[in-house]
Amino acid sequence: MNKVHIAFVDDEESLHTLVKIRFKKLIKSGQLESYHFLDGDQCLEYLRENKDSLKIIILFSDISMPNMDGITLAQYLQSEFPYIKVYIASALSNDSMKERASEVGALDFFSKPLDFDKIEEVIRKFL
């Protein structure tokens, strides 16, 4: 059985709490390990510091955050960590945002509030 390592990058702490509650069974069963960051800077710093032992393969990021937004983070990931599958989320869901996300290598765009069933579908592809 594979263990999926997934990162969530969002400045809303409540989202991180919801993720932990929603995926509690997968986490407890050892199928999922989640990492949580409040902005792109915090995430990128962690990835760079742990690049030799990094196991994260999926990353969900909000677009609008302080310090470093999700689009900028995705650009860094595309060049430094191209194996990480990036998904972008935003409450501002329009064609322009979706196009920007696609341009920086995001595999899909999720509108907020997040549909956790769709996120679980993504996770299950890697189990």
pLDDT in tens, 8-24: 999 999 999 999 999 99
With contact defined as beta carbons under 8 Å apart, do 62 and 10 qualify?
yes
- How far is the C-alpha of 37 from the C-alpha of 43, rounded, in Å? 6
Q: What is the CA radius of gyration of the chain?
A: 14
The domain spanning residue 71 has which CATH number?
Answer: 3.40.50.2300
Structure tokens at 42: 């915090």
The answer as to whether 127 is a domain residue is no
Rounded average pLDDT over 28-52: 97
Residue 71 lies in a domain: yes
Residue range(s) defining the domain that contains residue 12? 1-26+37-92
In a domain, 124, yes or no: no
- Asked whether the predicted pLDDT for residue 42 surpasses 80, the reply is yes
Distances (CA, A) of 64 to 6, 33, 68, 90: 20, 24, 8, 7
In a domain, 48, yes or no: yes
Q: Is the dihedral of CA 13, 16, 20, 21 positive or negative?
A: positive
Model pLDDT, residue 1: 65
User: What's residue 115's pLDDT?
Assistant: 95
Token digits for 27?
């986490």
Contact, 70 vs 90, CB < 8 A? yes
Measured CA to CA, the distance from residue 92 to residue 27 in angstroms comes to 30
15: amino acid identity, one letter: L
Tell me if 87 is assigned to some domain.
yes
Q: How many distinct structural domains can be found in the chain?
A: 1
How many alpha carbons fall within 13 Å on the CB side of residue 79? 6
Query: In percent, how much of the chain has pLDDT > 70?
Result: 99
